[in-house]
Amino acid sequence: MATGEPSPGPTRRAGPPRPPDPDPDADRDPAPGANGSPTGSLLEAEVSPFHCLYADALHFHSTARLALARSETEAGRLSRAALVLYVASAEALAHQAAVELGRPELAAIAADPARPLPLLDAWRLLPSILSAGPNGALDPDAPPWPQFAELLALRGSWCHPGPAPSRRAFYRAANPGDDYEPLQPHQVPAGLALAADALQFPRTGLPRDPYALRPHHLDTARSVLDAAVEALDRRIAGALTRDNRHRREPVRLVHPPGRDGR
């Protein structure tokens, strides 16, 4: 199950798609109503924040790739925006699933905004909240959950940066006068007590330094998120994505009355 297109599609209007309009005169300028305001068509949509945020992440992901040839600084900035949106889409998906599919008495455990549960815990508990039956809770040590935990930990380290020693980053210039670039684990000089884990997460290779994030790291982040969605979906017998429910944004015409827009 693919959670998104390989790359963003052609540019279109923001928001949900417009339903077919049965009125052949719908594109004409509306006539003024009784109160002097123009009458018009009014749509009601059920928005999927997961779909919206994931699509935005794809856009910044793709744009970061294009920007890399011009400027690593610009590519890094776009990459950070994309990663935040990928994780935000994961948060939206977990909470929406808990509310829409979970047992009412348990849904608030994962989806109460007044008492937010850590995102990784919300994902781990979803099978139980959704009455997943014999599959039970997720095994936190089985892939992709350790990798997913690192993705969430990276975003968490930006939100909760901690004391100065935990925020140290290292940069290297190969020759005098060269630009300084984020230090890679294989470039650590002999004798410098600097472990590879201090520079990047061990399972995903995602850099701990936000300035070191590049588009190829987003490829990893997206694959981890997609694998987590697939793994969770298997545990709950496909309920998470059945009929494309996590992406569906149904719309209906609510004004003028008597026209269903279908």
What tens digit of pLDDT does each residue of 145-164 get? 999 999 999 999 999 999 99
On whether the CB atoms of residues 252 and 19 are closer than 8 A, the answer is yes
pLDDT at 102: 84
**In this structure, which amino acid lies at residue 113?**
P
| pLDDT for the residue numbered 262 | 46
40's enclosing H/E stretch is none
- Beta carbons of 138 and 144 less than 8 angstroms apart: no
pLDDT in tens, 98-146: 888 888 888 888 888 888 888 888 888 888 887 655 555 568 889 999 9
What's the pLDDT at 16?
Answer: 53
pLDDT at 8: 42
The pLDDT, as a whole number, for residue 235 is: 86
Please say whether the beta carbons of 113 and 107 come within 8 A. no
Structure confidence at residue 38 (pLDDT):
60
pLDDT of residue 261: 45
pLDDT of 10 reads: 40
> Which segments of the chain have a pLDDT < 50?
1-14, 19-34, 36, 261-262
**SS3 at position 200:** strand
